[in-house]
Structure 1
Amino acid sequence: MKYRLMAAIAGLLIAFPLGLSQIPTAEAQQVKQIRWATSAVGSAGHRAKVALMAMLNREMPDYSITVLPTPGALATVRGYATNQFDGYYGADIAFRELATDSGRFRGFSAQMQREPVQSFWAYTMEVGLGVRAADRERYSGWGDLRGRPVFSGPAPWDVRAQLERAMETLEVGHRYVELDLGLAASSLAERNIDAFIIYSTGESNPAPWVNEAMTATDVAALNPSEAEIAKLRAAGLDVVEVDGSVFRNARVDKVVLVPFFYGFHVGLEVPEEDVYRKLMTIEANAAELAQSDSAFRQIAADMVGIQRRGVAASVDSVKVHPGLARYLREKGAWDDAWNDRIASR
């Protein structure tokens, strides 16, 4: 009898925790899942999103973020708009094309089920041009590439879209040549192209393939002329100077590049309070993020400034999440001219 009683008690002790594990707690039911799409594994966007996810999952336990790699940032914006993802990796140049039904988004508006909004700007990417070092003195600016063969980047990439936008602004009617990234250096050396795109992230990190190409052959950065810089700025395009030492063999003290903004965004499905809290959490942990990935150095140095600049660059194309608007208002960085661009359901 004694042994039967002990066995029954033991059975209850085993069954009871098993039964509890099958009953979802109120806390577990309140955790919100975010399927956050970014670019391909190995890309700057994927690396940065993984670092951001790790911090947010730790600091905001009421959310559970899963990173979903895709072929590229463009696919994430399309995927969000068609209800495939909850978060996306969006650039201001992509939002501009989406808003104007042009470029890579031409005809896409008919497929949209919801509109993206902007909610967090993570860093800039900056685009420019490299030419054969032996020919560098022949060029006075980008305009001298008119009619010449240029690899401005892979066709679907945002960096190419931004460089093409800048060159179009300057009326540089070049001939686009599409290449595999690994062929850029040899194509330049063999004179199959006269220039190729060079670019960096956060004004400090060139794409690995760009540095490899600049090491494999003699390349020099080609800066736009002073008149071209003025024309770009007059058209609303920002221009920055990056230290020449950032690139291998740039052969100039300062490389003049045209930046655009990348962000990890969510839509109105995430409430204002939660987006505001997310931004405050990112600000509080920006130094840690910068240690995890140097792309976040810009927000570690000036989180508010990057958000304001990102909004200014894209506000005409995409509305602002009310959580981001609240954050900028509290920081004294909101422009009242943007009031009618705050998104609402």
Structure 2
Amino acid sequence: MKKSIAFFIMVVMVGWVFGAAAPAQSQVTDISWGTSAVGSAGHRALVNLAAMLNREIPEYRIMVLPTPGAIVSVKGYATGEFDGYYGADIAFYELANDIQRFKGFKPNIKRQPVQSFWAYTMEVGIGIHTRDLGNFKQWRDLSRQRMFTGPMPWDVRAALERGMEAIGVNHQYMEVDLSTVGSLVDAGRLKGFIAYTSAEATPAPWIVELSLATDWAILNPSKEEMQMLRDQGIEPVQVSKDVFKKDVKVDSITLLPFFYGFHVGLEVPEEDMYRMLVAIEKNADELVKADAGFRQIQQNMPELQRRGVASSAAFVPIHPGLAKYMRERGVWNDAWDDRVAKP
């Protein structure tokens, strides 16, 4: 009887030890990762990225949370609402300088956003109805015209507005639902709208849907306007006319690029962030098959990180995991050493 009791106690104790150890070994850290609205390029990209990371880095469980715009996710991270966010160089510029969409926001910051992964460039331009091709020859012709340059919180809108301001386009902004842009352009109530791509390769889903509702074309800036943009530090890029999967009535599309990334803070340790970056690089082919917007990652991920960091090193700190990755790939600039975030 005593032996049976002793054996029972031993079994219970062993079970308790292994039972207590199991949760520690299988502990998963949830990441609530904010991105842009459903139907946007950012939402599509993070859904595919999260699916891959959840598989490759099982210690983390990423939940994709759409917001009205990327800027909302940056602010949400800074105030503790999200664990990750969708941030662009133009947002970091506004945050650092307390201007535009971030004016007066600094007192609300509970933790400092950092840059940790640059996913692709985005390129912004202007679309018009084909019937207006004879009326509008350059961007400045849209002055005083009703335009939709994107939802108010969106970075693509901020990037396009920055370019338009640089050449003096004084348009009338209209805030409309994404699903109605095509019909409003078709009816003539909007004379221009934002047309943009990810990685010079793929348009946002809502623009693809817009093409079903109206016949539109790209309006390129004139040569004079392109020089005005360069004088303001904005370098246009030429994108294939086939990128929008329709005839946009030009031989080559001129768009304005900026950098976009999916970032986390120091709550994700250096080594874990480094592992995420390595996993992204390793699975670049898979990501591109799911979303052509990851093409630049597939082509040269280290170089894209270098360009992204260069665009924002003066505005927000750099995650040490990203710094480690870049040093190993030979794309780190020692001038950034003092910009690496510290716990």
Tell me the TM-score range normalised by the shorter chain: 0.7 to 0.9
- The correspondence for 2:171, drawn from 153, 171, 174, is 174
Structure 1 residues 47 and 178: alpha-carbon distance in aligned structure 2, compared to 1, 3 A threshold: closer
Q: In the alignment, which residue of structure 2 is the partner of 1:159? A: 156
Structure 1 residues 185 and 278: alpha-carbon distance in aligned structure 2, compared to 1, 3 A threshold: closer
CA drift at 1:299: 0.4
> Could you report, residue by residue, the CA deviation over 1:138-181 in whole angstroms, capped at 9, with x for unpaired residues?
43321222222221112122211111111111121112122222
Q: In the alignment, which residue of structure 2 is the partner of 1:95? A: 92
CA drift at 1:111: 0.7
Number of aligned pairs? 341
CA drift at 1:120: 0.1
Q: In the alignment, which residue of structure 2 is the partner of 1:143? A: 140
Letter of the aligned partner of 1:231 in structure 2? M
Q: In the alignment, which residue of structure 2 is the partner of 1:302? A: 300
Give me the whole-angstrom Cα distance separating, in 2, the residues matched to 1:58 and 1:213.
Answer: 34
Moved more, 114-123 or 100-109: 100-109
Structure 1 residues 263 and 115: alpha-carbon distance in aligned structure 2, compared to 1, 3 A threshold: same
Structure 1 residues 27 and 314: alpha-carbon distance in aligned structure 2, compared to 1, 3 A threshold: same
Unaligned runs of 5+ in 2: none
Structure 1 residues 147 and 337: alpha-carbon distance in aligned structure 2, compared to 1, 3 A threshold: farther
TM-score when normalising by structure 2: 0.88
CA drift at 1:41: 4.1
Letter of the aligned partner of 1:181 in structure 2? L
Q: In the alignment, which residue of structure 2 is the partner of 1:109? A: 106
> Aligned runs of 1:222-233 on 2, under 5 Å?
222-233=219-230
Question: Alignment identity in percent?
Answer: 54
Question: Is 1:199 matched up with 2:196?
Answer: yes
Letter of the aligned partner of 1:71 in structure 2? P
Give me the whole-angstrom Cα distance separating, in 1, the residues matched to 2:263 and 2:23.
Answer: 28
- The correspondence for 1:290, drawn from 288, 291, 311, is 288
Give me the whole-angstrom Cα distance separating, in 1, the residues matched to 2:39 and 2:248.
Answer: 25
Question: Is 1:341 matched up with 2:339?
Answer: yes
Moved more, 35-44 or 192-201: 35-44
- The correspondence for 2:131, drawn from 129, 134, 155, is 134
Q: 8 Å contact 1:299–1:306 — kept in the other structure?
A: yes
Q: In the alignment, which residue of structure 1 is the partner of 2:317? A: 319
> Could you report, residue by residue, the CA deviation over 1:121-147 in whole angstroms, capped at 9, with x for unpaired residues?
111221110122232244332122222
> Could you report, residue by residue, the CA deviation over 1:191-228 in whole angstroms, capped at 9, with x for unpaired residues?
32321111122222212322333343232100112222
Give me the whole-angstrom Cα distance separating, in 2, the residues matched to 1:88 and 1:285.
Answer: 21
Q: 8 Å contact 1:215–1:249 — kept in the other structure?
A: no
> Could you report, residue by residue, the CA deviation over 1:233-284 in whole angstroms, capped at 9, with x for unpaired residues?
3322232222112222311121111122221111122222222222122111
CA drift at 1:327: 2.0
Q: 8 Å contact 1:218–1:249 — kept in the other structure?
A: no
Give me the whole-angstrom Cα distance separating, in 1, the residues matched to 2:177 and 2:192.
Answer: 14
Unaligned runs of 5+ in 1: 1-7
Structure 1 residues 293 and 187: alpha-carbon distance in aligned structure 2, compared to 1, 3 A threshold: closer
Q: 8 Å contact 1:128–1:223 — kept in the other structure?
A: yes
Give me the whole-angstrom Cα distance separating, in 1, the residues matched to 2:58 and 2:154.
Answer: 34
Q: Secondary structure at the match of 1:36?
A: strand
Q: 8 Å contact 2:202–2:293 — kept in the other structure?
A: yes
Q: Secondary structure at the match of 1:185?
A: helix
Q: 8 Å contact 1:328–1:334 — kept in the other structure?
A: yes
Structure 1 residues 167 and 317: alpha-carbon distance in aligned structure 2, compared to 1, 3 A threshold: same
Q: In the alignment, which residue of structure 1 is the partner of 2:236? A: 239
CA drift at 1:119: 0.5
Letter of the aligned partner of 1:121 in structure 2? W
Q: 8 Å contact 1:182–1:213 — kept in the other structure?
A: yes
Q: 8 Å contact 2:186–2:213 — kept in the other structure?
A: no
Q: 8 Å contact 2:72–2:153 — kept in the other structure?
A: no
Structure 1 residues 38 and 212: alpha-carbon distance in aligned structure 2, compared to 1, 3 A threshold: closer
TM-score when normalising by structure 1: 0.87
Give me the whole-angstrom Cα distance separating, in 2, the residues matched to 1:43 and 1:240.
Answer: 22
CA drift at 1:15: 7.6
Give me the whole-angstrom Cα distance separating, in 2, the residues matched to 1:130 and 1:41.
Answer: 22
Give me the whole-angstrom Cα distance separating, in 2, the residues matched to 1:239 and 1:16.
Answer: 69
CA drift at 1:60: 2.4
Q: In the alignment, which residue of structure 1 is the partner of 2:41? A: 44
> Could you report, residue by residue, the CA deviation over 1:105-125 in whole angstroms, capped at 9, with x for unpaired residues?
221111111110000011122
- The correspondence for 1:280, drawn from 272, 278, 281, is 278
CA drift at 1:26: 6.8
- The correspondence for 1:76, drawn from 57, 73, 79, is 73
Give me the whole-angstrom Cα distance separating, in 2, the residues matched to 1:284 and 1:331.
Answer: 14
RMSD: 2.9
Q: In the alignment, which residue of structure 2 is the partner of 1:4? A: none
CA drift at 1:80: 1.0
Q: 8 Å contact 2:70–2:87 — kept in the other structure?
A: yes
